[in-house]
Amino acid sequence: MTRAASARESAYQAIRHAIITGADAPGALLSENERAVALGLSRTPVRGADDAARARRAG
């Protein structure tokens, strides 16, 4: 797994965990920048994680 893929997967898992545990309230709008800062990542892997989450939800 590349470093970029690893960062994206890490962001995806963190976002998923926040949703499942209720840390992110239903309907809450969090900016890409806020998530990136909270996770200690750049916005690019967070954007990729958000895209992956949307695709998995739609699929």
Six-digit token string for 23: 């840390």
Overall domain count for the chain: 1
Q: What is the DSSP letter of 15?
A: H
What is the rounded CA–CA span in Å between residue 34 and residue 6?
Answer: 20
Output the pLDDT for position 27: 83
Confidence of residue 9 (pLDDT cuts 50, 70, 90): very high
Give pLDDT tens digits for 12-26: 999 889 988 999 888
Domain range spanning residue 46? 3-58
> pLDDT averaged over the chain?
89
> pTM for the whole thing?
0.81
